[in-house]
Structure 1
Amino acid sequence: PSFVLGGRAMEIVANETMLVKYLKNAVEVDEDKPVLIDKYLVGKEVEVDAICDGKEVFIPGIMELVERTGVHSGDSTSVYPPFSISEKVKETICDYTTRLGLGIGIVGLFNIQFIVAKDDSVYVIEVNPRASRSVPFLSKSTDQNLVTIATKVMLGESLEKQGITRLTPPEKTDRWYVKAPAFSFQKLDGMDAYLSPEMKSTGEAIGYDKSLNRAFFKALQASGIKMKDYGTVIVTLADEDKEEALPLIRRFYELGFNIEATIGTANFLKKHGIRTRVRGKLSEGSTEILDSIRAGYVSYIINTRAILSGVHYEDGVAIRRCAIQNGVTIFTSLDTVKILLDVLEETIPGISTINA
């Protein structure tokens, strides 16, 4: 819907059938509450908080989100300075931010979210003419009190009068800053833990360090994620995610984790040389996967669903609910899994899985 905050009731639909179902069941549609339809683009998401005084635009920094488009920015892990986008993309983002701030006529803080495609094309998702939840994070990361600067601008004191002459200051190079979302799924009974365009986080934590992986470790741990370096990983993957997930699951395996999976995922992993224990599907009457979660030896669950095909299964909802009830860390984005592995590989001594 076009009239909400936090992505409320926002959804990615893969086909016309899903769109019709969404319009019938998910939202109230009338002339005063139009439904906004955008094309879903796969890419990196980047965020900017800036201040415009009507004549100039101050861009203290650019934040790169770990999770690709499709996950609400408030539920994404955010990094300053950006860790993978090119200088060309940064220049384009600063150019668009300046032109939009001046063109709209904003006086004060504003936030822009961008998509960066594989070919480095930059698209604007939205411009919010207000302070964003990321302002405290960027203020701490850049040592710029953005609220004070913006307040003075709104009261008539220009950026120049405040002594701000470098409108795009150089990025910090001595430290990495990571903002990780914190969730309260155990307290919010019935909420699905699957990350989507609808925001579900209830807080956030910040970690910083000279090492990016250590900054990730601090932020993830502070946000409530149990960083275990042993145990079992349960994997249930949508078909469209299996190829991308394969090297990630192999990394868990090589770190010494046991792997369990439902039949389709298990066969795929076995075919590629990863020893996997098969667990029956809930939809076929088996409770094996829930029994494993309840037994207490599962460290992580990786559960994805098909965004592009629109095929979703109720099994995933039950698995995610069981994970939350039993305090097991669950990941629904492969991008988050990758940073977890980066952290674990830096902190765990080398272990060879026994193929007995």
Structure 2
Amino acid sequence: MEEIGEHVAPSEAALSVEQAVAAAERLGYPVLVRSAFALGGLGSGFANNKDELTSLVTSAFAHTSQVLVDKSLKGWKEIEYEVVRDAYDNCVTVCNMENIDPLGIHTGESIVVAPSQTLNDHEYNMLRNTAIKVIRHLGIVGECNIQYALNPESEQYYIIEVNARLSRSSALASKATGYPLAYVAAKLGLGIPLPQLKNSVTNSTTANFEPSLDYCVVKVPRWDLSKFLRVSTKIGSSMKSVGEVMAIGRSFEEAFQKALRMVDENCVGFDHTIKPVSEEELQTPTDKRIFVLASAFRAGYTVDQLYELTKIDRWFLHKMKNIADHERLLETYNQDESAMPPEVMRKAKQLGFSDKQIALAVQSTELVVRKLRHDWSILPVVKQIDTVAAEWPAFTNYLYLTYHGTEDDLSFADQHVMVIGSGVYRIGSSVEFDWCAVGCITELRKMGYKTIMVNYNPETVSTDYDMCDRLYFDEISFEVVMDIYERENPEGVILSMGGQLPNNIAMSLHRQQCRILGTSPEFIDCAENRFKFSRMLDTIGISQPQWKELSDTESAVKFCEKVGYPCLVRPSYVLSGAAMNVAYGDSDLEKYLSSAVAVSKEHPVVISKFIQEAKEIDVDAVACDGVVMAIAVSEHVENAGVHSGDATLVTPPQDLNQKTIERIKMIVHAIGQELQSPDRSTCS
């Protein structure tokens, strides 16, 4: 970098603890410690003194033989550029992104916006020109990611790092712009020049054309830290997130609130009720800091106060304040939503408020707000991502919904089949569900059907715009899926490929006469609702441990004492055993019940006797009209009590006799038949 007059953060490499301490003394505390050749900030962290440094470096040497000690730039802006270069020295900066969180939090842990929102024209072009100069000097052919630290008080900047490869940010940049980075990089590696590669979105411009965005994209990470006992919820230079979402809107507020709901379907948006104000948490970020900010605005903190505590740019804080202020305005129409002027509703939708969020503010229901919105013709419009800000027509249907617009970018004459994806990666839902959705789309297209995919995970194949006929990069919620359904009027909707998230909205869609393909919503509910499922097993004579639906803690304790601890607490409609726990006594039971009810507010919690020292068996089957067509039995190596996602499984089973296998198959056939017999169902 020095050869071309560029600057990197003051840094020294160290091969021992002693060398690291000496380097820190020369650089001056605080310092950032990083493991060399590590991914995701493994073994990294900030040290404010010698003791903290010694501890960090000692743990870092468990991963590597070399550590880097950098001068801390905490509080500076973090900016990223994605750049491609061909073997003939043609360069394009595909996307620039700005971390909302200041430097000190790994970019994979940060909320990120594209394009950057707070850079002026000079800063933007200064960093863009530097990115091109760096990629040329390093001789990179293909794609690279360059990260900067920019002083918020001046134009001083440092190059933090260059990834001479596709990075975690590359998937986000590809989906944010519609520019297929991996595809282009592969072609460039084969020696094909950028001007010869066609832009697959417009079919008229070339890949040697920088994308132009007439919308805003916000990425928010997903953490599952609540699954772990005694884990620190603080976030920093070492990654802990398990996935991320990407939201598209015509304003920052719209995309920002969409993204928060995408991360967690139980979150309504920029919600002040999730976490109380804590100045310590504002200064030392956690996975829930964004909701602490919402509480802080609610408590009357000013933008300047919050800037001093968080170092989040004032522009972003003003945008968040817009949301908090409008929520207060909505609350003035408490229990009289019809008195609300239509302009207030429209403004709320443009600020990213969901119907459910508005309903909570005015103490009404989602369906009442939805009807009111329809009566006032406040409806979203469908916009295309075209990479060229509408300078040329788009040939791919890469779509999103927005309330900033007056007309749709396309017509809705053709009939499609709609497939709902799996949403964000989390513990219990990863690439396997996405591949189910992609396999479903592929098969439908082979059969001659036109397809619609709804998903919002930038890391997935299902959100590649060439996998389906129409990709809606938007929320998987009752409101949004119904908005798309009403606009597209598809032949039907397939929920079963996307895992838990689509199943959770099955009954809400069904009540609005949405055509669900495959298992009917009533039978999905019968399988997902613990009470209905247990009652069904009793009715058709399939044995199960003693069970009881929760009504109150006192009766739950009596039941557990009657059947004897341990007992299993099981909420309905949950993924990967969320809030499912084995209670070994009254105190366990009370603690787990409050957690289970919070996770599954609208559904009953069932308590059943937990059988210890039992073998656990998994069965996967495919049925048509209740008749099982294929079946696979897997045996757990661990005893019951270890979640199947954490257990070691063997298929075919190695320690079951033929009689047991036949009994298992008989039970599966009986359940399959019962879940497809409306005339004699025991579910209702």
Deviation at 1:155, TM superposition (A): 1.0
> Does the Cα contact within 8 Å between 1:214 and 1:343 map onto a contact in 2?
no
Which AA in structure 2 matches 1:125? I
> Does the Cα contact within 8 Å between 1:108 and 1:154 map onto a contact in 2?
yes
User: Structure 1 residues 191 and 53, CA, compared in 2 at 3 Å: closer, same or farther?
Assistant: farther
Separation of aligned partners in 2, 1:221 and 1:198:
24
Superposed counterparts of 1:1-356, under 5 Å: 1-24=35-58, 26-28=59-61, 33-41=65-73, 42-54=75-87, 55-118=89-152, 119-162=154-197, 169=210, 171-172=212-213, 174-224=214-264, 226=267, 227=269, 229=271, 231=273, 233-238=275-280, 241=283, 251-254=297-300, 335=312, 338=317, 341-349=321-329
Cα deviation, 1:215-237, whole Å, max 9, x if unaligned, reads 00001110127236564753333
Separation of aligned partners in 2, 1:79 and 1:43:
16
> Does the Cα contact within 8 Å between 2:283 and 2:310 map onto a contact in 1?
no
Which AA in structure 1 matches 2:221? P
Separation of aligned partners in 1, 2:119 and 2:311:
19
User: Structure 1 residues 204 and 179, CA, compared in 2 at 3 Å: closer, same or farther?
Assistant: same
Separation of aligned partners in 1, 2:62 and 2:109:
27
| Runs of 5+ consecutive residues of structure 2 not aligned to the other structure | 1-34, 199-204, 285-289, 333-684
> Does the Cα contact within 8 Å between 1:216 and 1:343 map onto a contact in 2?
no
Deviation larger for 14-23 or 63-72 = 14-23
Cα deviation, 1:289-330, whole Å, max 9, x if unaligned, reads xxxxxxxxxxxxx9xxxxxxxxxxxxxxxxxxxxxxxxxxxx
Cα deviation, 1:44-90, whole Å, max 9, x if unaligned, reads 11111111213122111201110000000001111111110111111
User: Structure 1 residues 235 and 57, CA, compared in 2 at 3 Å: closer, same or farther?
Assistant: same
**Partner residue, 2:484:** none
Deviation at 1:141, TM superposition (A): 2.0
User: Structure 1 residues 35 and 126, CA, compared in 2 at 3 Å: closer, same or farther?
Assistant: same
% identical equivalent positions: 25
Deviation larger for 231-240 or 193-202 = 231-240
User: Structure 1 residues 136 and 232, CA, compared in 2 at 3 Å: closer, same or farther?
Assistant: closer
How many pairs are equivalent? 273
> Does the Cα contact within 8 Å between 1:89 and 1:122 map onto a contact in 2?
no
SS at 2:60 equivalent:
coil
Cα deviation, 1:65-124, whole Å, max 9, x if unaligned, reads 100000000011111111101111111111111111111111111111111112022211
User: Structure 1 residues 234 and 340, CA, compared in 2 at 3 Å: closer, same or farther?
Assistant: same
Deviation larger for 10-19 or 63-72 = 10-19
Deviation at 1:185, TM superposition (A): 1.2
TM-score, normalisation: structure 1: 0.67
> Does the Cα contact within 8 Å between 1:208 and 1:215 map onto a contact in 2?
yes
> Does the Cα contact within 8 Å between 1:71 and 1:195 map onto a contact in 2?
yes
Deviation at 1:194, TM superposition (A): 0.7
> Does the Cα contact within 8 Å between 1:56 and 1:102 map onto a contact in 2?
no
Separation of aligned partners in 2, 1:228 and 1:103:
43
Deviation at 1:208, TM superposition (A): 0.9
Bigger relative contact order, structure 1 or 2, given CA contacts below 8 A and separation 6+?
Answer: 1
SS at 1:139 equivalent:
helix
User: Structure 1 residues 46 and 40, CA, compared in 2 at 3 Å: closer, same or farther?
Assistant: same
Separation of aligned partners in 2, 1:97 and 1:230:
39
Deviation larger for 125-134 or 15-24 = 15-24
> Does the Cα contact within 8 Å between 1:179 and 1:206 map onto a contact in 2?
yes
* Structure with bigger gyration radius: 2
Separation of aligned partners in 2, 1:167 and 1:92:
20
Separation of aligned partners in 1, 2:90 and 2:82:
14
TM-score, normalisation: structure 2: 0.36
User: Structure 1 residues 342 and 194, CA, compared in 2 at 3 Å: closer, same or farther?
Assistant: farther
User: Structure 1 residues 203 and 29, CA, compared in 2 at 3 Å: closer, same or farther?
Assistant: closer
Which AA in structure 1 matches 2:102? R
Separation of aligned partners in 2, 1:230 and 1:146:
38
> Does the Cα contact within 8 Å between 1:61 and 1:138 map onto a contact in 2?
yes
Separation of aligned partners in 1, 2:220 and 2:39:
20
Separation of aligned partners in 2, 1:239 and 1:186:
17
> Does the Cα contact within 8 Å between 1:59 and 1:94 map onto a contact in 2?
yes
> Does the Cα contact within 8 Å between 1:59 and 1:168 map onto a contact in 2?
no
Separation of aligned partners in 2, 1:168 and 1:124:
25
SS at 1:349 equivalent:
helix
Deviation at 1:15, TM superposition (A): 2.1
Deviation at 1:165, TM superposition (A): 6.6
> Does the Cα contact within 8 Å between 2:36 and 2:67 map onto a contact in 1?
yes
User: Structure 1 residues 23 and 106, CA, compared in 2 at 3 Å: closer, same or farther?
Assistant: same
User: Structure 1 residues 158 and 49, CA, compared in 2 at 3 Å: closer, same or farther?
Assistant: same
Cα deviation, 1:134-170, whole Å, max 9, x if unaligned, reads 2222222222111111110011101122257785736
